Amino acid sequence: MRDRLAGSTEGQRCYWNRLRICLALALCSLWARAGEGQSVAQETTRWNKYVPVKLTADLSSLDNKQRQVLRLLIEAAEQMDAIFWLEASGDKDKVLSSIDDSQVRRFAEINYGPWDRLDNNNSFVDGVGEKPLGAQYYPTDLTKEEFEQYLAEHPTQREAMTSQYTLVRRGEAGQLIAVPYHEAFAQPTERATELLRQAASLAKEDSFKAYLLARASALLSDDYQHSDMLWMDMKDNHIDVVIGPIENYEDKLFGYKTAHECYVLIKDLQWSQRLAKFAEMLPALQRGLPVPDAYKQEEPGTDADLNAYDVVYYAGDCNAGSKTIAINLPNDEQVQLKKGSRRLQLKNAMRAKFDTILIPIADRIIVEDQRQHITFEAFFSNTMFHEVAHGLGVKYTIGADRQRVRDVLKETYSALEEGKADILGLYMVTQLFEQQQLNDGQLMDYYVTFMASIFRSVRFGAASAHGRANMIRFNYFAEQGAFRREANGRYRVNLEKMRQAMEGLSKRLLMLQGDGDYQAAKTFVEEMAFVPAQLQADLERLNRLGIPVDIVLEQGIDVLGL
């Protein structure tokens, strides 16, 4: 789509982009006011992007000991929250005390710092510069070139410096040093460990007790593989917790460092039973991927499971900005290959976003005769199979030297991996529907809901890995004619062309990962992960209609009545 302006000068490109946006905004404004025959709601601004949601769940089946376990896990989660503040922005009290305006201060709390996570991390506090790409994981003056040169000159330090569980700091002489997380964050780590051990003493299931004790030890050693294995072995526990340094989205300099977070969860037994059968189908789905055989030789673990949960507490990375509605863990490739992975669907959070955000978006952005295809069942399944798809494809390059894809693709890895999961999730839905293994509604439900969900997701901006993945998918679909924007500003899905685009993009992303060609991956992301002018105008239309971008949670022990 960018090629249309390839022959213009930079000034001409800027002029035409501005003109296109202005014209589109004017047309959309007229359409919003006249075409819908209703008044425009209060505009969505920076300060009201989030709609408050009370995070509750049915606790009636929990006994007193289980309620105590929940309280202890929420307290442990609060320690992860404190650590993530340090990783993302530095000292929380110092950051917040520097902001006089209470509204701005509250927004900083939601974003874990003075940068708007739903606006490409732009600063919303006067005098604050750009957010460091490496957040607080590295010295803020460290460049990629200096770091790579240092590693080349000190090869014995590479493992420690690039570890997922160290901070990089400067020593007294200016040299780079690696500080293990459990040392850098000693006080909150030790407190979280103590709380997890208390929870273990009250746990009803032996497997849950073993996991909590192992996870407590892992926080003190920065060695998480054993606890990940035990987490995969848990099957019957009613309460669950995901805790520790896990995802690497916050490190946009190299993508090496993981961020602390926590989810406290209650399993929905009825919905989980509905999902159990899909885990057994992963090997067959892997063999059916639309790529040459060399790119699907890895065998996904067959011990993976799919479950639905109500989440009762978010903390740290997963609570910053947009809220996660599904989890695919563990990230350790060795654990995935041996045990598979667990896909946790956060049903109550998912339902909140569907009702308060996706439905209002679909009412404004999807053609009327296709709006019947927006269903919660399709939204749930698309989200679930996104997480399943993380376990498919390749974890290691297909060359003779077999390197981890995560390592060789560096900062491009997360965007490509999230893009792969998005598109393969829809591919898997299609396959299972045609095999009559998935039989809720019509296939069109999943495609139209998928399209509407893009508009929900792209409003998070293009700064995050998920944001770049959204834009890659949207722009690829546009190029392939998978949808058409009609004169009234609404979008129509073309089922056959969208299916063809889905298969084409699946192949492209899987092969980029398998080839491990960093430069090719970087070029692809740079060329495709941008917000086109027409889409920007449509997003502005949604903002003018006052539709929130995401949810902000009222949560905790008091909210749950513990």
Q: Would you say 58 and 310 are in contact if contact means Cβ atoms under 8 Å apart?
A: yes
Cis peptide before 292 (omega within 30 of 0): no
Q: Would you say 337 and 299 are in contact if contact means Cβ atoms under 8 Å apart?
A: yes
Phi, psi torsion values for 305, nearest 5 degrees: -140, 155
If you ran DSSP here, which 8-state letter would residue 113 be given? S
Q: Would you say 286 and 299 are in contact if contact means Cβ atoms under 8 Å apart?
A: yes
pLDDT reported for residue 15: 36
What are residue 122's DSSP bridge partners?
116
Q: How far apart are CA 478 and CA 486, in angstroms?
A: 13
Q: How far apart are CA 345 and CA 348, in angstroms?
A: 9
Nearest to 438 by CA among 446, 447, 429: 429
pLDDT one digit per residue (tens) for the chain, 562 residues:
323 323 333 333 333 433 333 343 333 333 333 344 333 446 778 888 999 999 999 999 999 999 999 999 999 999 999 999 999 999 999 999 999 999 999 999 999 999 999 888 999 999 999 999 999 999 999 999 999 999 999 999 999 999 999 999 999 998 999 999 999 999 999 999 999 999 999 999 999 999 999 999 999 999 999 999 999 999 889 999 999 999 999 999 999 999 999 999 999 887 777 777 776 787 888 899 999 999 988 887 655 578 899 999 999 999 999 899 888 899 998 998 888 788 898 999 999 999 999 999 999 999 999 999 999 999 998 988 887 788 789 889 998 788 999 999 998 998 999 999 999 999 999 999 999 988 889 999 999 999 999 898 888 766 667 788 889 999 999 999 999 999 999 999 999 999 999 999 999 999 999 999 999 999 999 999 988 999 999 988 988 999 999 999 999 999 999 9
Q: How far apart are CA 230 and CA 207, in angstroms?
A: 7
User: What residues does each domain of the chain span?
Assistant: 45-560
If you ran DSSP here, which 8-state letter would residue 255 be given? S
Look up residue 312 and give its two tokens: 């009762």
pLDDT reported for residue 304: 59
Place of tokens 């007193």: 64
Q: How far apart are CA 480 and CA 496, in angstroms?
A: 11
CA-CA-CA-CA torsion sign (298, 299, 301, 307): positive
Look up residue 309 and give its two tokens: 């949960």
Phi, psi torsion values for 258, nearest 5 degrees: -100, 155
